[in-house]
Chain A
């Protein structure tokens, strides 16, 4: 009763029975296809005992008939209409095939990528230009500073990042101290642990570590937020109200990260040094008091300024890149995912690139 069945009546008439629907045929479509194959496509067909015929069932029959009516087909009007709809529209080639891959495609992709990079650079410059104009505007009308947004971003990107950066910083400090202590002990140069940890963490590791963390944590969030606002037309709504989206959405993020990153650098470095100090004490019985006393001599003050300016630079960079990619999101999920990924990858790469530039330009500053 339920399943689709085929039987042969006298005089070569082929009778179909049961439910010829996708749901009913589904599980044994293969057997039914094989059974149909064994039958001659032409001849006489009787569909009057079929309880229900949907377009899948009709398509199976139509294919078997070689996409034309058999000599005789007994069926109800509804079934005939279903079959006719299939006959008219299921021609096998109705939907034009999508473009196939071409030998020259890699060249085209390379060209597109190059032009795309140029476009990215231009958009980023435009964004920076808009921010500069916004800043000029804000200098003239200080009442319009988006202070609430800035403070909200300081809280989200800064305060909320403190526990995780403390954990990571502490562990990196411990690992670094432990590894260095093993080497230094071999030469009896225990006291140099202060120089290694102090310079290494404050000048290099601290800023880069927190920048990578913030890029992953806040950069992705900013891109996703702006991207969804783009998709839901919230950014257009802001523009329509005469409110500059860069002023309200981008500027607070950039300013907040530029403000909060140096503070996070200080925080992470301090905790990393604490971790290193504790590890040195446990490993080599190195006095913590002596560690703290000799730190200022081992690390000239200029290094702190280098670390702080790195913080500002990295923060600005991460926020700019995150917003740039966020504003490029197109209204589909794929684009949101691609831009969020691109945002994080680009900001981390750029952070390391800028860090290298810092290393070269400041190579004669702050080294004892």
Chain B
């Protein structure tokens, strides 16, 4: 137990991913410590979402190892693998809510599946999760089709949090939200990170989200993680992708408070 607690929450070792002849990752390494909020950034086609899918176990890399909570992702009995999956929550880009279920049933689903939580407790926990993501108990009866984009993300986040995960994986959490909603959502994740002591790994293109949330930034380029460091350090990096990604007008705006010399006169 002590050993597992000391081990990094996620370790990717020498990951190789190929789609036909197209090599996306080639010997990629990444190690995430407990409590970090890590943003995966990279140009399109650098396999950020693919990497996330490797971590979830939806796809398997052609070579290399994915270790979660100090154990290989696909090791152990089926029960052990299932228990491991219940230790992380995923927020998919489109929410991926079960469209035939109400909001409440969506959140309750995984709880009921454990077959350990009583019905009345499920109701209480659903009410609690709804409150955590800023929704009211009355909204539990809405169907996913009746929700706005921002609400879908909130419900999906509540569902991801249902099993009290230690690790939260977010795929483009603020894509498709207007700036105000997106800032709200970022604040929500920050608050949950503080309150629940979560480790968060997110894929994002949004510089504001990136600047506000991440404690570490993993930059994917040249089929590897070329840098894994804090925001300041990442900005100092001399690499074409960094200049392109952070150097634009939006980048100058988002990081103005960090880098006074790049601020427009």
Check if A and B associate: yes
Chain A residues engaging chain B, CB cutoff 8 angstroms:
1-2, 21-23, 25-27, 29, 54-56, 59-60, 63, 78, 81-82, 85-86, 88-92, 94-96, 98, 330-334
Q: How far is the CA of A1 from the CA of B4 in the complex (A)?
A: 13
Q: Are B116 and A89 in contact (CB under 8 A)?
A: no
Q: Are A21 and B124 in touch, CB under 8 angstroms? A: no
Q: Check: B180 CB closer than 8 A to any chain A CB.
A: no
Our pick among B98, B116, B117, B127 for the contact of A90 (Cβ within 8 Å) is B127
Please name 18 pairs of A and B residues whose Cβ atoms are closer than 8 Å in the assembled complex, sorted by A: A22-B117, A25-B116, A29-B117, A55-B129, A56-B121, A63-B121, A89-B128, A91-B127, A92-B120, A92-B124, A94-B124, A94-B137, A95-B123, A95-B140, A330-B145, A333-B98, A333-B100, A334-B100
Count chain A CB atoms within 10 A of each CB in B104, B124, B126, B127 and give the residue with the most. Answer: B124
How far, in whole Å, are A252 and B195 apart by their CA atoms in the complex?
57
Q: Which residues of B contact A (CB under 8 A)?
A: 1-2, 83, 86-87, 98-100, 104, 114, 116-117, 120-121, 123-132, 137-138, 140-141, 143-145, 163-164, 195-197
Question: Nearest residue in A to B108 (C-beta to C-beta)?
Answer: A95
- Cα of A330 to Cα of B143 in the assembled complex, Å: 12
- Within 8 Å by CB of B83, from A23, A59, A90, A333, lies A23
Residues of A within 8 A of B132 (CB): 85
Asked if residues B163 and A331 are in contact (CB atoms below 8 Å), the reply is no
Given the contacts A29-B116, A29-B117, A94-B137, A22 and B128 also touching, CB distance less than 8 Å? no
Interface centre among A27, A89, A333 (most CB of B within 10 A): A89
A59 pairs with B125, CB closer than 8 A: yes
Our pick among A26, A29, A331 for the contact of B145 (Cβ within 8 Å) is A331
A86 vs B195: C-alpha distance when bound (angstroms): 13
Please indicate the chain B residues that have their CB under 8 angstroms from the CB of A98 in the complex: 141
Measured between beta carbons, the chain A residues less than 8 angstroms from B100 are 332-334
Bound: A67/B84 CA distance, A: 32
Q: Which residues of chain B come closer than 8 Å to A1, judged between CB atoms? A: 1-2
Partner of A95, one of B87, B98, B116, B137: B137
Q: A90 contacts B137, CB within 8 Å?
A: no
Min distance, Cβ A228 to any Cβ of chain B, angstroms: 12
Which residues does chain A contribute within 8 Å of B145, judged by CB atoms? 330-332
Please state if B128 and A55 are interface contacts (CB–CB under 8 Å). yes
Residues of B within 8 Å of A81, CB to CB, are: 195
A106: shortest Cβ distance to chain B, in Å? 23
**Residue pair A56, B117 in contact (C-beta under 8 Å):** yes
Q: Which residue of chain A lies nearest to B163 when distances are taken between CB atoms in the complex? A: A22
Asked if B124 contacts A86 (CB within 8 A), the reply is yes
| Closest B residue to A334 using CB positions | B100
A96-B141 contact given A86-B124, A90-B124, CB 8 Å threshold:
yes
Query: Are B131's CB and A85's CB within 8 A?
Result: yes
Per CB-CB distance, the 6 closest pairs between chain A and chain B, nearest first, are A90-B124, A332-B99, A94-B127, A54-B164, A334-B100, A94-B137
Complex: A311 Cα to B140 Cα, angstroms: 50
CB of B250, distance to nearest CB on chain A (Å): 28
Q: Give Cα distance in the complex from A1 to B144, angstroms.
A: 41
- Smallest beta-carbon distance B160→chain A, Å: 14
Q: How far is the CA of A96 from the CA of B123 in the complex (A)?
A: 10
Find out whether the CB atom of B114 lies under 8 angstroms from the CB atom of A331. no
> Would you give the shortest CB distance from A163 to chain B, in whole angstroms?
31
Bound Cα distance A85, B131 (Å): 9
Interface contacts beyond A90-B128, A94-B124: sample of 7 additional A-B pairs, CB < 8 Å, sorted by A: A2-B1, A23-B86, A23-B87, A55-B164, A85-B132, A89-B130, A92-B120
Tell me how far the C-beta of B52 lies from the nearest C-beta in chain A, rounded to whole angstroms.
Answer: 22
Looking at the assembled complex, report how far the CB atom of B110 sits from the nearest CB atom of chain A, in whole angstroms: 10
Q: Which residue in chain A gives the minimum CB-CB distance to B87? A: A23
Taking CB atoms, residues of chain B closer than 8 Å to A332 are 99-100, 143-145
Q: A330 — which chain B residues lie within 8 A by C-beta?
A: 145
Residues of chain A within 8 A of B131, CB atoms compared: 85, 88-89
Known A27-B116, A54-B164; judge A90-B140 contact (CB<8 A): no
Separation in Å of the A12 CB from the closest CB of chain B?
Answer: 27
Judge whether A56 and B104 touch: CB under 8 Å: no
Residues of A within 8 A of B117 (CB): 22, 29, 56
B residues near A333, Cβ cutoff 8 Å:
98-100
Distance in Å: Cβ of A338 to nearest Cβ of chain B = 10
Chain B residues near A94 (CB-CB < 8 A):
123-124, 127, 137
A88-B132 Cα distance, complex, nearest whole Å: 11
Contacts of A82 on B, CB cut-off 8 Å? 195
Given known contacts A23-B83, A23-B163, is B125 in contact with A55 (CB within 8 Å)? yes
Question: For B1, what are the chain A residues with a Cβ–Cβ distance below 8 Å?
Answer: 1-2
Closest A residue, CB atoms, query B145:
A331
Given B114, B123, B197, which contacts A26 in the complex, CB threshold below 8 Å? Answer: B114
Among residues of B, the one whose C-beta sits closest to the C-beta of A86 is B128
In this complex, what residue of B is CB-closest to A19?
Answer: B1
A344 to B97 CA separation, bound complex (whole angstroms): 28
A63→B143 CA distance, assembly (Å): 30
Q: What is the CA–CA distance of A1 and B117 in the complex, to the nearest angstrom?
A: 22
Nearest chain A CB to B121 CB, angstrom units: 6
B99 cross-chain contacts in A, Cβ below 8 A: 331-334
